[in-house]
Structure formats: C-alpha cells, structure tokens
Structure 1
C-alpha cells in the first residue's frame, strides 16, 4: 500500500478548524497515551499524524472502516436490536445533523464541513425529520409566548 496526501475536492476543503478546550484535552490525551513513534513518518512532506498502525504508519480511512465494522459486529452479537453499518463518512453526516439540530448558524456549519455550497450542507449532510420540525415549532411557540409576556409587562409598567 502506498501512502499519499490528496488535495481536497474544493478550496473550501482547505481550512482551519477551531476546537473547544475539551477537544484540545482529548487530543492531548490521545498523544500522551499512544507514546512517541520510534521514527516520525513523513507522507508527501507531512508529519505529525495522530493515529498509527502497528508498524508506525498513519491510520487511513480503511483502517477506521474495519474498526467500525468490528465494533458493530460485536455489538450486534450481543444485542437484539441491531445496529446498522457505520463508516467514518457516516460520522460526518451525524455531526452535521447534530450541529444543525443544536441551532448552529448554517454558514458556520458550511465552513466547518468544508462545503463550497450551502446546499450540500443543508440538503445532503443535514438529516432532519418530523420530530425535529415539531421541536422547532414548539421552540418558536415558546419564543412567541415570551415576547407576548414581555410586551404585557411593558404595558403594565407604563
């Protein structure tokens, strides 16, 4: 197998990603737990990879897909309700949907996902359904009720 660094599909794929303090602590823990590689591996001039295989080479998508498959298989052997196949790419969809459900600004989400078109972020990666629509309507109803209460309080104060 040959290791190569591929360019992103679009210029939007090249970006700096801010992380939370908790994320930074998690990355630091990963680095501390894994130990130093015997020899720093370079791939097309890049180094500083986060995860390595048994031979000290960077883990690639196929490694992660195999790990996910093993986890799902073990889970499905134990539990009656079966888990569907999960790939690293599915995690991107889940992240995007969860951030959208949490109310993240769509343009911020587009940037974080590395999409050059907002339609890709909203129409392909964000999966919302009836429950999400009902929750949003309930939230909007609460906002409207709060506004009415504020106006009532203002009128009484005058």
Structure 2
C-alpha cells in the first residue's frame, strides 16, 4: 500500500500528542511540509549542488528551492566565511612553495 501525506501527518500528530501528554514543555504539530523545509535546508548546508537539490525537491524554479525552502542563518554564513579563509590560506601556501609539478616528460616510456 503506498503511503500518502495524510498517513505521515497522523503519525506525527500522534507522536506530538504523546510527547505533550508526558512533558510540560509542549512542542507544536509537525507537518510533512515542515519536513520538506528541513530536508532542503540540511542538504543546502551539507553543500549539495543547488540544481540537484532543485530536482530532488521537484521545483521548476531554482528560486523556490533557494529562497523559499532553504533556511540558513548567521551561523551558517560565519562557517562559510571561515571555510573560505582556510581555502585562501591553503592556496597561498601552495603558491608560496612554488614547487614544480611533474610532467609526462619526466617519465621514460618502456
């Protein structure tokens, strides 16, 4: 039997209701649509190619994928800037060494 969104919605509602019956701090209902937003944001944070993500999400426009479904924050921007600084340092270190790369001419054909 194929699963439909309503089946998942009922499962989520049951889990949330059981949790809210036990604990004082309540959590809101979780929908399958919220799971789509979470999936899209997590894949974007992991570095998935945006066009691949667009295809997997089933969007015809990349703007919907990147502007509506992807939720990134200040911490994500900070991590990306740190990653770019490390990349620039590594590039400068390689250029500073200025080592010659091996070419095919250095090998003898037997």
TM-score range, shorter chain: 0.7 to 0.9
Aligned residue in 2 for 1:75: 19
Alpha-carbon distance, 1:113 to partner: 0.6
Q: CA 1:137–1:67 in 2, change beyond 3 Å: closer, same or farther? A: same
Give the whole-Å Cα distance in 2 for the aligned partners of 1:142 and 1:81: 41
Cα deviation for residue 136 of structure 1 reads: 0.8
For structure 1, the 5+ residue unaligned runs are 1-48, 50-57
CA gap of 1:109–1:79, structure 2 versus 1, over 3 A, is same
**How far did 1:81 drift?**
4.5
Which structure carries more relative contact order (alpha carbon 8 Å, separation 6+)?
A: 1
1:122 equivalent in alignment to 2:37: no
Distance 1:150 1:81, change over 3 A: farther
Instruction: Report the equivalent of 1:100.
Output: 44
Shift of 1:114: 0.6
Q: Going by fraction, where is helix more abundant, 1 or 2?
A: 2
Query: Hey, what does 1:41 align to over in structure 2?
Result: none
Partner in structure 2 of residue 55 of structure 1: none
- How far is the alpha carbon of 1:142 from its aligned partner? 1.0
Following TM superposition, by how much is the alpha carbon of 1:61 offset from its aligned partner in structure 2, in angstroms? 1.7
Query: Unaligned 5+ residue runs, structure 2?
Result: 101-110
Match of 2:88 among 129, 137, 144: 144
Change (3 A) 1:140 1:59: same
Q: Which has the larger radius of gyration?
A: 2
Alignment TM-score, normalising by the size of structure 1: 0.57
Deviation at 1:83, TM superposition (A): 2.9
